[in-house]
Structure 1
């Protein structure tokens, strides 16, 4: 019933290793597909696993509102409920309360808000967030934190970060002793190095099984995000996994790994798949464009996913334009496959000590652009 994190190799600041849990190993660097409401949209759980995913992310805010954490618990927990027997990480609900909920009221105790679904009133505190995640049965639990809407003043970011640190202490106490489950703290502090350092000191003083870097990928731009990642990961313990929340695009992922990040998640591969965007080693392909309508070639000739193996660009264009469900299914599978291919390439390169060469080839391939139209 134990959990552990083992580093196998480093190359510069990039790291590869394994997070071991009772439900299976998570190879790092790891990209976690997002299963917001107990499903990765347009995918069967077995199909998600076939892309190479070791772990999924579930959403505390959405699941507490519908179908409710208590109902999921009565039905055997989230793993059984959604038919996914490998590790699940659940976020704390803080970001969604900030971005989705109506009439949010923040106090030292927690947050009260009205559901975006039906207007019903709810409260999340650090203690309630821990209870919801326990009822769901997630393997990796996130502390409840406060996510300030940006842009914000330095004073507002500092106040928010310090509130999150007090909530982190309460989350740790409420989490208790749960063998086989991990609790991650979340570093905050915006784009200010001193605040990030203060947050890291507070979190390491409390002590967690892993550490997330929160409050990025919220519109600040890649340059500012990488500026924070140039120092933030190394403020956190080297012997614990480091998780960058809500990232991201393929080049964001590679840049984050280069700076010492071990885990990431993002809705981008599935959301883009449903809107006709495919990520490939040659960059982003918009399958909706008319140039694809007579093209018998695959989306990516080097890809082995079902969309590329069994279907042409012309077919993918047709089913997207026809609003057929198979369009989102195939393009989401392709995108998740490609993201997991990136992660495997990164892990292999770090282990071989060739990450810089792999990174250069990755960027060169994407810079070359899509294949020429027929």
Structure 2
């Protein structure tokens, strides 16, 4: 059986390209993971997600443990079979959603007790329970259970939270055990403080993980502060393991993260934006619901080969989006996911060719042009 491993194939400055090997297939990095929160990428069939170029999906521990429950998914053959996706899946630990979604939560050394935002039922999530849920789901990449404080926060609060997360990281490692073919990633915390980030990285390296995430960013600190951390944080983590930036982001966030040494990202933005009429194109964001598109026979993006651009006009997409037809969510989401995967492929090729600077300059210059002129 293929064991989990990571090969770095080329670098260009801090930017890296490589391949993550798993028993369920290879993941080309830099990789963008579409988010399948409740065992589905909303408005997409799994085969369609694969057609956009996605090698791996993200599933959500918090949502799946509440509904339909990890135990039910396990009885039905695991998450891959349940959602008809036979390629790799990464599951988050549930920690972030508990902090942001759950009601009446109580945090202790042991874990977090909370009430479900769905029905008010009472649950406890600990490092051990998070590992058990992710084992029942059968995900290929498991995330350690951590606490993620919202920024801005006091340094003492960030330090205490980071050290709790490091104790939980050790407990996650112990509970994960030996699972050949499955990987466990640790999560670096420490807010915007370089010394706390270094302390966290040292603790994680001491425990030993198959990959490392830069956590606690994209939580309200802004792009400049995030890039400030990414200027040093990836370099604090092992060079021979994948580096994952959680919950990012907008196209220029992703490009900036890859420039700084990040290998994996996930975000709900392309799918969520698609459902609200926002399209990501080479020339920036297009709001298809704007009246200017009502009579426009041109595609969203003439250079795009996705079904929305090959088969439909801006006028049609405007109409079905304004009319709240289901096909609008389907086509717009497909387009956005296709755009994101093309972005990743472009960066992989540029890094391999040693031309990332030129690629990035063209990316920003084309976006600065803005959308095509109205008819």
> Is TM > 0.5 for Structure 1 vs Structure 2?
yes
What is the deviation of 1:147?
1.1
Please give the alpha-carbon distance, in whole angstroms, between the structure 1 residues aligned to 2:366 and 2:330: 26
Report the TM-score when normalising by structure 2: 0.99
Partner of 1:229: 230
Check conservation: 2:34, 2:58, Cα contact below 8 A: yes
- Answering whether residue 373 of structure 2 is matched by residue 369 of structure 1, we say no
Counterpart of 1:199 in 2: which secondary structure? helix
Counterpart of 1:285 in 2: which secondary structure? strand
Map 1:217-256 onto structure 2 (within 5 A).
217-256=218-257
- Answering whether residue 278 of structure 2 is matched by residue 277 of structure 1, we say yes
Partner of 2:34: 33
Check conservation: 2:279, 2:285, Cα contact below 8 A: yes
Counterpart of 1:16 in 2: which secondary structure? strand
Map 1:283-298 onto structure 2 (within 5 A).
283-298=284-299
Counterpart of 2:6 in 1: which secondary structure? strand
Please give the alpha-carbon distance, in whole angstroms, between the structure 1 residues aligned to 2:324 and 2:259: 39
What is the deviation of 1:151?
2.2
What is the deviation of 1:152?
1.3
Please give the alpha-carbon distance, in whole angstroms, between the structure 1 residues aligned to 2:157 and 2:323: 48
What is the deviation of 1:148?
1.3
Check conservation: 2:35, 2:266, Cα contact below 8 A: yes
Partner of 1:208: 209
Counterpart of 2:53 in 1: which secondary structure? coil
Partner of 2:181: 180
Please give the alpha-carbon distance, in whole angstroms, between the structure 2 residues aligned to 1:357 and 1:163: 42
Partner of 2:162: 161
- Answering whether residue 23 of structure 2 is matched by residue 18 of structure 1, we say no
Partner of 1:303: 304
Please give the alpha-carbon distance, in whole angstroms, between the structure 2 residues aligned to 1:143 and 1:39: 22
What is the deviation of 1:3?
1.1
Runs of 4 or more off by more than 2 Å in structure 1? none
Map 1:118-137 onto structure 2 (within 5 A).
118-137=119-138
Please give the alpha-carbon distance, in whole angstroms, between the structure 1 residues aligned to 2:224 and 2:86: 38
What is the deviation of 1:160?
0.1
Counterpart of 1:186 in 2: which secondary structure? strand
Partner of 1:99: 100
Counterpart of 1:112 in 2: which secondary structure? strand
Instruction: State the Cα RMSD in Å.
Output: 0.4
Partner of 1:141: 142
Partner of 2:269: 268
Please give the alpha-carbon distance, in whole angstroms, between the structure 1 residues aligned to 2:159 and 2:289: 44
What is the deviation of 1:150?
2.5
Number of equivalenced pairs: 374
Check conservation: 2:150, 2:216, Cα contact below 8 A: no
Counterpart of 2:229 in 1: which secondary structure? helix
What is the deviation of 1:149?
2.6
Partner of 1:45: 46
Check conservation: 2:158, 2:190, Cα contact below 8 A: yes
What is the deviation of 1:43?
0.2
Counterpart of 1:362 in 2: which secondary structure? helix
Report the TM-score when normalising by structure 1: 1.00
Deviations 1:309-337 (A, max 9, x none): 00000000000011100001000000000
